[in-house]
């Protein structure tokens, strides 16, 4: 039995801790560290205060093609590509750093709201790119690079920002949020 380095184990624990804090699933932790399933589950319970979620990881590139997830995923992946190419952050550390930057810039309505792109989906996105299932395609109107299926024609690609679907942003939750934001300034006015 090969003995494991104490410093390597400490690095794995720190890496797993930062991924758990960002919302990584147990399968992601197992793939990226050399810690045992039991140790990772204990660490997860210690940090999050609950058992890790069970079930399979999301495995569909089609989720990244719908309009809002495409915008958020494209933002994340462009940051990840930049960090991976131009900084010392590589691999999973670049994924963690890019996801933190994504969370800072994603513009969540409230601190309690779930981000559109979870850490696990961001990790899967990087794996989909590494396996050649997805590509970045330049939008012919704005010039931004957005996620598209690999080997799709790129000449007439228009992104979801330049051509949003007709009902984009018209959900019940969005209407409720707009109604709440309109009444909030009136409710917070100080009495005279």
Check the annotation: does 50 bind a ligand. no
Check the annotation: does 159 bind a ligand. yes
- The answer to whether 170 and 67 are in contact (CB under 8 A) is no
- The answer to whether 126 and 42 are in contact (CB under 8 A) is no
Q: Which tokens hold the place of 125?
A: 């996105």
Feature table: binding site for Zn(2+): 139, 142, 159, 162
Extract the annotated binding site. Answer: 139, 142, 159, 162
């Amino acid at each position: 039995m090969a003995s494991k380095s104490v410093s390597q184990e400490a690095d794995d624990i720190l890496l797993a801790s930062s991924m758990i804090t960002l919302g990584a699933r147990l399968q992601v932790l197992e793939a990226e560290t050399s810690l045992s399933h039991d140790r990772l589950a204990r660490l997860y319970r210690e940090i999050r205060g609950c058992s890790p979620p069970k079930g399979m990881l999301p495995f569909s590139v089609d989720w990244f093609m719908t309009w809002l997830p495409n915008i958020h995923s494209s933002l994340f992946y462009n940051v990840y590509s930049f960090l991976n190419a131009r900084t010392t952050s590589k691999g999973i550390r670049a994924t963690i750093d890019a996801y933190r930057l994504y969370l800072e810039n994603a513009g969540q309505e409230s601190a309690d709201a779930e981000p559109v792109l979870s850490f696990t989906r961001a990790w899967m996105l990087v794996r989909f790119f590494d396996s050649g299932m997805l590509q970045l395609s330049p939008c012919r109107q704005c010039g931004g690079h957005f996620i598209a299926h690999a080997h799709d024609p790129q000449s007439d690609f228009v992104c979801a920002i330049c051509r949003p679907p007709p009902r984009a942003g018209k959900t019940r939750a969005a209407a409720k949020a707009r109604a709440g934001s309109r009444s909030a300034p009136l409710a917070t006015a100080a009495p005279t």
